[in-house]
Amino acid sequence: MGLSARLGARAHPDVYTGTVTISTLAEADDRVVAGRAADGDPKAFEVLVRRYSGLMRVYARSILGSNDEVEDVVQESFVTAWKQLESLKDPGAIKSWLMRIVSRRSIDRLRRRREHDDIDEHDRPTREDTSPPRIAETRALTSALGTALATLPPAQRRCWLLREVAEYSYREIALDLEIPETTVRGLISRARTNIVREMQAWR
Amino acid sequence: MRTPTPHPAPDAGATDALNPENLDGHTIEELSAYFDAERTPTNFSIESSPGCQIALNALGRLRELTERDLETQAAAEPAPPDGWVQSIMDRIALEAQAGRGIPISHPLPTAHLAMSEGVVRGLIRAAGDSIPEIIVGRCVLDGDVTTAGQPITITVDISVAWGENLLQAAERARNVIHRQLLKHTELNISAIHITVQDVRFARLQRAEVDQS
């Protein structure tokens, strides 16, 4: 009967993180913090949670069109991120990588809400949607862009956000939203036209 | 008080950067897709049209504005409550990323001991972090760590506080990491490469505040 042991599986958390404090870690840039988190340091990961949860909330809220599920979506996104972090090739690209995860999670929620019909009716006017009053409440309507976004039909807004913020290709958007690529191309073009016009109206 | 028109007239006229009439026969959809393809392959008809150039510039400005606007909104978000952060940390706590198993020799031939790669990285971090101006980032162990005695190359990213001599900081990090690994592991280390990935300012500023 052999003796078998493996150090590490239940090692004390300090083994992974050492004695450096979170506020010291927070001084380092994304490449260092995300690289360290990818190596399994929970403290470094906590720095990422504090650094990016605000941006992820704003973004998820824009995609979902309401505040309801935002906290859950962002939490789930971070748990997913931790599990997949080892596969992150470029720690300096952590921000867009996190945005892609929160995109995917938000879209999963939309799907669960059974909003297929809504997405199929690409250009349904926003005022029929139940969400804009909520958006107006939750989003700081201080910017012309925020206002322009809030008036977009949901399908235009989503496609445009996925393209512009999460840097999805048209093909990826088409696959995730289950709509044809040509439709994605048209929705993004119309979203841009509408946003630019709306913002010109603010001048 | 000025109230913006929520829905401007469809014909916004010559000031409209995306007015299809100014695009020399091209469509907004075509330009929008061309913009997303990073203007490759080059479309000479689009590139030589002043109206199309104005439209492409408008799309570029919108992209920049979007990023700034999201950052501004994110900065205005309240800091996440500690309890909310903690619930994420609790959920990830059970999933330690141990990595490969690194054998440790034992006089008993039937004994098989191993140290996980995650623990070795933890040792490297703790060693590097023990130098006040250094924070260790990613550590990569190249080579077959699962076979005892195989040569291993270690690459470590570090952040160094502003004002420190980078070469000396890297050398100190290399020495302390090497010492700790010799002490705690049986790795056959052929090289330790240190990359300074980041020079950070905050710590120096704090030191100045402390002195004043």
Q: Which residues of B touch A3 (CB under 8 A)?
A: 106, 108, 110-113
Question: How many angstroms away from the CA of A32 is the closest CA of chain B?
Answer: 4
Question: How many angstroms away from the CA of B175 is the closest CA of chain A?
Answer: 18
- B96 and A16 in contact by Cβ < 8 A? yes
Global pTM value: 0.78
- A188 and B92 in contact by Cβ < 8 A? no
pLDDT at residue A105, as a whole number: 93
Q: Which residues pair with B115 in a beta bridge?
A: A7, B102
Average pLDDT over residues A23-45: 93
DSSP A26: T
Q: Which residues of A touch B75 (CB under 8 A)?
A: 54
pLDDT 10s digit of each residue in chain B, 212 long? 454 544 444 444 445 788 888 899 999 999 999 999 999 999 999 999 999 999 999 999 999 998 888 888 899 999 999 999 999 999 988 766 677 888 888 888 888 888 888 889 999 999 999 999 999 999 999 999 888 889 999 999 999 999 999 999 999 999 999 999 999 999 999 999 999 999 998 644 555 555 54
**pLDDT tens digit sequence for A46-80:** 999 999 999 999 999 988 888 889 999 999 999 99
- Predicted-complex ipTM score: 0.78
Q: What is the DSSP secondary-structure string of chain B?
A: -----SS--S--GGG-TT-GGGSTT--HHHHHHHHHTTT-S--HHHHT-HHHHHHHHHHHHHHHHHHHHHHHHHHHSPPPPHHHHHHHHHHHTT-----SEEEE--SSTTEEEEEEHHHHHHHHHHHHHTSTTEEEEEEEEES-TTSTT-EEEEEEEEEEETTS-HHHHHHHHHHHHHHHHHHH---EEEEEEEEEEEEE-HHHHHHHHHH-
Question: How many angstroms away from the CA of A89 is the closest CA of chain B?
Answer: 11
Query: Interhelix angle for A94-112 vs A154-164, to 10°?
Result: 160
B-chain residue closest to A164, CA distance: B63
pLDDT at residue B114, as a whole number: 82
- A42 and B92 in contact by Cβ < 8 A? yes
CA distance A52 to B75: 10
Burial class (CB in 10 A: 0-12, 13-18, 19+), B72: middle
B-chain residue closest to A38, CA distance: B138
pLDDT reading at A8 higher than 80 = no
- B126 and A201 in contact by Cβ < 8 A? no
Of A3, A85, A202, the CB nearest to B4: A202
Average pLDDT over residues A99-108: 91
Domains of chain A are: 15-113 (1.10.1740.10), 118-203 (1.10.10.10)
pLDDT at residue A18, as a whole number: 60
Amino acid at B73: Q
Interface test with B, best of A58, A122, A126, A170 (most B CBs within 10 A): A58
More confident residue, B98 or A174: A174
Lowest mean pLDDT among A4-13, A175-184, B23-32: A4-13
- B157 and A35 in contact by Cβ < 8 A? yes
pLDDT at residue A20, as a whole number: 83
Question: How many angstroms away from the CA of A116 is the closest CA of chain B?
Answer: 24
